[in-house]
Amino acid sequence: MNPATQQLNELIEITRDGQRFYQHAIDEVKDVDLQHLFRDMAQAKTQVIQALAVKVAACHEQPAQGGTLTGRLNELYTDARAHLGNADGAYVEQLLQTEERILRVFEDALPDAQPDVRALLAVELPKLRACHARMRQLQEARS
C-alpha cells in the first residue's frame, strides 16, 4: 500500500469513528432535535468517507472498512458517563471532542499529503470544519 493510500485509509477510519459514534448517539439521546442533528452529522461523515474511499479505490487499493480502537473506547466511555447522569450532555461533549480529533487529524495530514490527496482534503476540510462549528455552537449553547 502506498503512503497516500495508507494516509487516506487512516483518515477513513477516524472519520468512521465519528460516523458510528453519531449513529450510536442517535439511539441514546432523548432530545429529538439532537437526534436530527446527529443524523445530519453522521450523514456528513458518510459523505467524507465516500469521497476518500473513491480515491483509495482509484489507486486500486481496498478502502478501510473499520474504525479505530480509540473511537470505540471513547464511545464506551461516553455510554458509561451517560448512564451516570446527563446523557444528552455527555454525548454532546464527547462528540465535540470527536469532531476536534477528526479536524486535527485532517489538518495535520494536509501539509505532508501528496498533491492529489491535498486537493481532496482541501475539498473535504470545509465540511469537517462546519461540523465542528455546529457541535461547538451546540456545546456553548448548552453551557
| pLDDT tens for the chain, residues 1 to 143 | 788 899 999 999 999 999 999 999 999 999 999 999 999 999 999 999 999 999 999 989 999 999 988 888 888 889 888 888 888 889 999 999 999 999 999 999 999 899 989 999 999 999 999 999 999 999 999 87
Asked whether the whole model's pTM tops 0.85, one would answer yes
* pLDDT value, residue 143: 78
* pLDDT value, residue 26: 96
Residue with cell 458517563: 81
Per the CATH hierarchy, to which homologous superfamily does domain 3-142 belong? Ferritin, core subunit, four-helix bundle (1.20.1260.10)
Residue type, 123: V
What CA–CA distance (Å, rounded) separates 30 from 46?
23
* pLDDT value, residue 16: 97
Domain ranges of the chain: 3-142
- The answer to whether 143 and 90 are in contact (CB under 8 A) is no
What CA–CA distance (Å, rounded) separates 1 from 126?
28
- The answer to whether 10 and 121 are in contact (CB under 8 A) is no
